[in-house]
Amino acid sequence: MQKETNLELVRQHVSVANGLPNEHYIDQSVFDEERNSVLFNQWAGLDVCSEVPEIGDSKPINFMGLPLFIIRDNKNIVRVFQNTCRHRGMILVEKTKKIQGAIRCPYHSWCYSTEGKLISTPHVGGPGQNTDENIDRTKLSLVEIRSHVWRDVIWVNIDGTAEPFEEVMASTIDRWKELDQKLYHGGEDGKFSLKVKGNWKLAVENYCESYHLPWVHPGLNSYSRLEDHYHIVKYGSHSGQGSLVYRQLTDDKGQKFPDFKNLSKKWSTGAEYIALYPNVLLGAHRDHAYAIILLPLSYSETIENIHIYYSQPNTSSSLKKKNKDQWKEIFEEDIFVVEGMQAGRLGVKFDGGRFSPKMDEPTHCFHDWVASKVNDFRNNNHQITNVTE
């Protein structure tokens, strides 16, 4: 049965609010409700375009139980489709692969173009006959999922009801306008994945705030002290933190990554880390950027896919590796907190917790957003369904 959690306290001012109730982390029905109310009806991050670098590259992705695949079509456009054949519902793309010509269903070989059009239906009218008067191919294209690309991230609006991406994300896009430059993925030295035993929201919450730095990342804190951080809070949109003391990585020969072009002065020692709701965590610096896409596996398990980007192709591979290792260490330091907070929410008398009015506004900003979206969903009497076209 659907549990209806009380979200009134969450939406109070940060100084008096409680966090989201336990059920938002440990209850299947609330997880399902959030799937429809804060993920499928918003612009959620799915993957990055660099995962399908060449025409024809395709990759299956399971997004909260929904089988999807991404593909770079013949016209070089990255598209997202439901990974289900229009004939008998077979999975079409079972593993990452290059589509040379058409996507052939492994069951009865119906063939789709990389743009999703049904282009052949072998023997559908009997042996040797590929047509049938009742099979109208134009009505049997693959189901395409609404998508948008920004900063190499493929964002999807599964239920098709969200306002256009540029409108929804306007304030973040505007904030980082000068960073809107071509990004070069670091390749194998620029990606890694972590699996955490925690609800996806805990990864967002932990990412938003700098309060934990002195204890969880003591190494980081030696040059990036708490007082050198500022909050980024935009209620209804995003939150995070900025640093005033970013130091560029150097290798043994004193080499650094090349900078992005024409950045304002604040970026010479500045860095910003923004959680773009619901599930993408972004980082930006003068010389590199990254995106973390959170894929919820269940209410208590999440995959974090991390992708690092540079201002130019072919930057030093040893430096890229060093950078990747450094970030990996930091993100791994956060795992025990996410898992610990997950375990802590089995404490039935936990009331969602309190926020430090001074330190936790970015976290509250996220809770407030989740609560408002869940409330909207309930008020509009939406039903929890799987996917709607």
> Which residues of this chain interact with ligand FES, rule CB under 6 A?
85, 87-88, 90, 105, 107-110
104 binds another protein, rule: CB under 8 A? yes
306 contacts 233 by C-beta, under 8 angstroms: no
| Residue pair 89/165 in contact by the 8 Å Cβ criterion | no
- Is residue 220 close enough to count as binding another protein by CB under 8 A? no
Pick from another protein, Fe ion, ligand FES, none: which does 160 bind, CB < 5 to 8 A by kind? none
Which residue in 272, 334, 360, 361 binds Fe ion (CB under 5 A)? 334
Contact 152, 111 (CB under 8 A): no
- DSSP symbol at 68: E
Residue nearer to Fe ion on the CB measure, 34 or 334? 334
* In the complex, minimum distance from the CB of residue 337 to Fe ion, in angstroms, rounded to a whole number: 7
CA distances from 123 to 60, 103, 254, 287 (A): 27, 17, 65, 56
User: Which residue, 131 or 268, is less far from another protein as judged by CB?
Assistant: 131
Minimum CB separation of residue 99 from another protein in Å reads 8
Q: Is 276 left (phi over 0), alpha (psi -120 to 50) or beta?
A: beta
CB of residue 127 vs ligand FES: minimum separation in angstroms?
15
* Identity of residue 355: F
Q: What contacts 216, CB < 8 A, 6 or more positions away?
A: 333, 334, 337
Between 116 and 198, name the residue whose CB sits nearer to Fe ion.
198
Nearer to ligand FES, 97 or 108 (CB): 108
Asked whether position 100 contacts another protein by CB under 8 A, the answer is: yes
Closest to ligand FES by CB, 105 or 337: 105
Give how far Cα 139 sits from Cα of 80, 143, 230, 280, 369, Å: 18, 10, 53, 34, 38
214 exposure class (CB count in 10 Å sphere: 0-12, 13-18, 19+): middle
Fill in the per-residue mask, 115 to 154: x = in contact with another protein (CB under 8 A), - = not in contact: ----xx-xx-x-xxxxx-----x-----------------
We find the least distance from the C-beta atom of residue 77 to another protein, in angstroms, to be 18
The kind and range of the H/E element at 382 are none
Q: Which does 334 bind (CB under 5 to 8 A by kind): ligand FES, another protein, Fe ion, none?
A: Fe ion
Q: Which does 65 bind (CB under 5 to 8 A by kind): ligand FES, another protein, Fe ion, none?
A: none
Instruction: Give me 103's structure tokens.
Output: 């996507």
The least distance separating ligand FES from the CB of residue 122, rounded to whole angstroms, comes to 8
Instruction: Provide the minimum distance between the beta carbon of 347 and Fe ion in the complex, in angstroms, as a whole number.
Output: 23
- Considering the complex, what minimum distance in angstroms separates the CB of residue 94 from ligand FES? 12
- Whole-angstrom Cα distance, residue 126 to residue 114? 26
Task: Tell me whether residue 149 or residue 343 sits nearer to Fe ion (CB atom).
Answer: 343
Query: C-beta of 253: minimal distance to Fe ion in Å?
Result: 30
Does the footprint of another protein cover residue 248 (CB under 8 A)?
A: no
Position 357, amino acid: P
Q: Kind and range of the H or E element at 365?
A: helix 361-379
**Count of CA atoms in the C-beta half-sphere (13 A) of 11:** 13
Pick the closest to residue 299 from 156, 147, 196, 388 (CA basis): 196
Q: Residue 11 touches which of another protein, ligand FES, Fe ion, none (CB < 5 to 8 A by kind)?
A: none
Question: How many Cα atoms sit within 13 Å of 351 on the Cβ side?
Answer: 8
CB of 152 or CB of 334, closer to Fe ion: 334
d(C-alpha 184, C-alpha 298), whole Å? 32
Q: At its nearest, how many Å lie between ligand FES and the CB of residue 121?
A: 8
- Contact, 274 vs 262, CB < 8 A? no
The listed partner (ligand FES, another protein, Fe ion, none) that binds 131, CB under 5 to 8 Å by sort, is another protein
Nearer to ligand FES, 108 or 378 (CB): 108
Under a CB-based contact definition with an 8 Å cutoff, are residues 160 and 146 in contact?
yes
Q: Return residues touching another protein (CB under 8 A).
A: 100-102, 104, 109, 111, 119-120, 122-123, 125, 127-131, 137
Q: Return residues touching Fe ion (CB under 5 A).
A: 334
